[in-house]
Structure 1
Amino acid sequence: MIYKIPQFDIITLGAQVFGLLITLAIFYYYSINITIPKFIEIKKFRIKKLKKINNLVVKINDDLTSNLWLKTYCYKKFLK
């Protein structure tokens, strides 16, 4: 039994392959020139933001350590 649908017709195979190659070329161009640079830009932004937040956390940790030392020292002085 021979199927008469275009997907299985040998005559339309060249047109199908050509359409597929054109579609893949457009998708490749779009990915390389538009999508991937946006991901890289977002990644750089997130890394910069994380570094800023990390520096803030380190500073807060230092302040808390100093504050704890100050409270302990003042409490010991107060008890004397």
Structure 2
Amino acid sequence: MYDQLSLIAPTVLTETTGAAWKENLALHARALGQEEQAEERLAADENRAHRIGEAIIAANGGRAPPSRSPASWPTRSG
């Protein structure tokens, strides 16, 4: 697929998605010459996530809510 796409336009393919999204962002930013913009956006998103986390803790009486992994989530059968 890469060979076909690269005939049309500059092409960047990542090997995976999901947990590697920060690495993928850095790779795409480097390909586009936009590393600084990507770093700024990532820092802004991480700052926002931290503020949201702090607000959740504050709303929970100063305690972090219990975490539950997806493996422990109830499922429907049938």
Q: Scaled by the length of structure 1, what TM-score is found?
A: 0.38
Using CA pairs under 8 Å that are at least 6 residues apart, name the structure with larger relative contact order, 1 or 2: 2
Q: Scaled by the length of structure 2, what TM-score is found?
A: 0.38
Greater C-alpha radius of gyration: 1
The structure with more helix, counted as a fraction of residues: 1
